[in-house]
Amino acid sequence: MNVFTDAGMKEVSSVLASGNILFSSDKKPSELKNILEKSMSEYFDYEAFLFLKNENEISEIVNNNPFNKAEDLHIYVFVGIEDVETLLMEEFSKSDKAENENAQIVADTFYWQIQKGNTLGSTFGKVLGKKKLKDKITSRNINTFERILKKL
């Protein structure tokens, strides 16, 4: 969090321990992305890729979830570069599907539903680990987005 404070962000806090940082700033999102990626890359000595969302965008992601929650299923939300949802749907369409596995795009956001315990073993889950996607996407469980929204 010091990286964000040192980069001039205000009201810095974290949600869970998975790289979800809340902050405020008067800067434009495009400026913020450049400033923060540079700061993170220098601080941690690796190339950082950030995907920034504001409170309205987080609210839309939570409210647009196309899947019903179930105890035995995970729902993941993917955010990333422009049109990444189309790339993800193409990859999903080509993959072998596990039982109850599904994906939908709603309002330019890719949602993926998978049986608990099958995330990393599924054909689509293996695609997500490819290096070619590293700088294009990140994913979070829908529960994480809900926790972020509650903290805003």
Query: Per the structure block, which two tokens stand in for 58?
Result: 């987080």
**What is each CA distance from 146 to 74, 92, 137, in whole angstroms?**
14, 25, 19
Q: What pLDDT is attached to residue 92?
A: 97
Reported residue count of the chain is 152
Query: Per the structure block, which two tokens stand in for 20?
Result: 């979800």
Q: What pLDDT is attached to residue 152?
A: 87
Q: What pLDDT is attached to residue 75?
A: 98
Q: How many CB atoms lie within 10 A of CB 1?
A: 12
Backbone angles phi, psi at 78, to 5 degrees: -110, 130
- Give 140-151 pLDDT, tens digit per residue: 999 999 999 999
How far is it, in rounded angstroms, from Cα 96 to Cα 123? 6
DSSP state of 117: T
Domains of the chain: 2-44 (no CATH), 66-151 (3.30.70.1260)
pLDDT score of 120 more than 90: no
Q: What pLDDT is attached to residue 128?
A: 85
Of 14, 36, 40, 39, the C-alpha closest to 27 is: 36
- Give 3-59 pLDDT, tens digit per residue: 999 999 999 998 887 678 999 999 998 899 999 999 999 999 988 888 999 999 999
Q: What pLDDT is attached to residue 30?
A: 85
Please return the burial class of 10, using the count of CB atoms within 10 Å of its CB with bins 0-12, 13-18 and 19+. exposed
| Chain mean position to CA 32 | 17
Contact indicator for 40, 2 with CB cutoff of 8 Å: no
Query: Per the structure block, which two tokens stand in for 104?
Result: 């939908």
Query: Average per-residue pLDDT in the chain?
Result: 93
